[in-house]
Structure 1
C-alpha cells in the first residue's frame, strides 16, 4: 500500500487519512489500475471530472469487460478479479521521455 501511495497509484480520502478499510467503487479501482498502467499521470489528464475521464478511458481499453458493477457502486470480489485480469491484459502507456 505504501509503495502504491508513493508511486501515485493511490491517494487516500484526505490529506491525513488513507481509508484502507473503506469499500472501493468501480471507478476508484479502475483509476488505480489505469494509473499503474501509466494513464492519468497529471491532474490535467482528468479534465473537469476524474470519474467521467476514468470511465471513458477505461472503456476505450476494455477495462470494464465482464464487470457488472456501476461506476459509483462498490465492487464484488468477482468484479475486482475481472478488473485485475483486464488490466493485466491491457497495454501500458508508452511515454516519449518528456
Structure 2
C-alpha cells in the first residue's frame, strides 16, 4: 500500500466506499446506495470520515484495512447538497458514455 494508499469496497449494508491517503490523513467517503453510475460524483457522497495515519504502518495492508474498517461506523453524514449544473467535462463524459453504450 504505502504512503499513497487508496482503495474501495462495500460496507456491510451494501453501500460502496472509497478511501485515500493524502499527506498524513486518510479520508473515507461512503456513497449513497442507489448510484446510477460506476464513478460517483461529489453529490453522491453520503458520509465522510477522516483519520490521521501517523500511528499506523501504511506499508502493512492489515493496518490500513483495520483503520478503514474502524472508520466506516464513525463516518459522519454529509448534508445533502443541492444538485448543481453539469460541468462541461461531466456533460462531455456523459455523452461519450451514451455513445459507447449505443454501440
Instruction: Please report the TM-score for the alignment, with normalisation by the length of structure 1.
Output: 0.34
Q: Flag the structure with larger Rg.
A: 2
Higher helix fraction (1 or 2)? 1
Higher strand share: 2
Higher relative contact order, structure no. (Cα contacts within 8 Å, ≥ 6 residues apart):
1
